[in-house]
Structure 1
């Protein structure tokens, strides 16, 4: 093999996530979205004294086939709050858009921009906004809508002439978002060492037990451990041999 062929075979290395920030806001569609991808990174960040707030567009009320939405919503909210607490997140807010039929548009952008103005993050985190997961599985409309709206709202939040009604409500423009980090992407650019937070990430996902028990016949703890460990280890060759949580980072 030539040097050129050897070089071409080496995986592209991921860059460590920026660390010069103090506040992050994670915006996703459903309870469990963060636990299926980046809770391990969030655990590491809160360990370091950083503040992370969760904002969920829905309460996940359409996510359990065996439970009517009115029963599922409070259950999934409780599971999400318990899940967040395990990785050091105290504040979990819900925007109350309707699960399964979230619409990308002005109302969603406004709600997310309001959350950004309220919490003043330097880092915003969201989930895969593209049509597919790696080109092999179709993404859900909720994920696409919320991910895309979050990317847009990071700019909206800093422009006083977009959603001026927010200023009237006491939410002044916030142009301090420096990065938007997308989890669950097939085009990651950055990563965080998953090792310190991996066990808590597993326990955090396991808190969504009512959802998981309907999703799979496998033992819930085995399912969570296998899923998260497998994904973290897949990224190790691209992050100095360390299991990793990956993000596609858009700078602003």
Structure 2
């Protein structure tokens, strides 16, 4: 059994940007964990931070069930305030050492977009560089080798992202849509609010209409996911990549 760790900045990002590959890995019998480095407590136009953080954690676990993800951990860091500090670097390192992943999927450290996303990418890059160093202590023993690392897209990464790995996620598209819908606070409330679509949101109990809504307004992520080889982590040869990602054709 292989182990994958998807690390993002906010709950709902692992689902949207890597939910398909996670569902495919889970279906193949592998263990996938999601980790977000903030609790997402800024992402709403009506709810205050504390109740929103609780709600988004609940949504995350429902999304994990839809994808077959076995663990979903959320750091208690305010949304919008993530910084690549030494303290957080050690926390991320501890989670990587504890999960002992073969594969880590993270956000880009460089580029524009949400500052939390870029900080999350930087924290993963820094942590991976040190996960094998025994004298950098974080409460967990060092790994024998670094994981293979991929970078996922986000809404602002197109100018810097390279499509090194292309994954057809249509076999698990409904599971991915249902994982997104589990985050109703984002896909049926805050996202539509930001995009001026609140008047088009169907009733939450009309599942088919909600699925169609997500498919209409987030179409770019529902059939294909692409990943870039990170400039850090272990370099894997083609044989190992095919073992890690047996459903990928362009390796």
TM-score of Structure 1 vs Structure 2, range by shorter chain: 0.7 to 0.9
| Whole-angstrom distance in 2 between the partners of 1:36 and 1:60 | 15
1:152 counterpart residue number: 126
Q: Is the 8 A contact 1:37 1:228 kept in 2?
A: no
2:190 counterpart residue number: 214
1:71–1:231 CA distance, 2 compared to 1 (3 A): closer
Q: Please state whether the residue corresponding to 2:73 is helix, strand or coil.
A: strand
When normalised by structure 2's length, the TM-score is: 0.79
Structure (1 or 2) with the greater helix fraction: 2
> Cα distance, 1:228 vs. partner?
4.6
Q: Is the 8 A contact 1:53 1:91 kept in 2?
A: yes
Superimposed CA distance per residue, residues 159-208 of structure 1 (whole angstroms, 9 cap, x where no aligned partner): 1122x2x2xx3x10014333111111422211222121111111110111
The total of aligned residue pairs comes to 211
Q: Please state whether the residue corresponding to 1:176 is helix, strand or coil.
A: coil
Which structure 2 residues correspond to residues 139-218 of structure 1 after superposition, within 5 A?
139-162=113-136, 164=137, 166=138, 169=139, 171-184=140-153, 185=157, 186-212=161-187, 213-216=189-192, 217=198, 218=200
Q: Is the 8 A contact 2:11 2:74 kept in 1?
A: no
Superimposed CA distance per residue, residues 16-75 of structure 1 (whole angstroms, 9 cap, x where no aligned partner): xxxxx7111111111111122110111001000111111111211111120000110100
Tell me: higher relative CO, structure 1 or 2? Use CA pairs within 8 A at least 6 residues apart: 1
| Whole-angstrom distance in 1 between the partners of 2:145 and 2:212 | 41
Alignment gaps of 5+ in structure 2 = 193-197, 202-209, 235-251
When normalised by structure 1's length, the TM-score is: 0.78
2:20 counterpart residue number: 40
1:114 counterpart residue number: 94
2:220 counterpart residue number: 230
Q: Is the 8 A contact 1:198 1:229 kept in 2?
A: no
Q: Is the 8 A contact 1:60 1:73 kept in 2?
A: yes
Superimposed CA distance per residue, residues 69-116 of structure 1 (whole angstroms, 9 cap, x where no aligned partner): 011010010001101111001211122122111011211211110001
> Cα distance, 1:227 vs. partner?
4.4
Q: CA RMSD in A?
A: 1.7
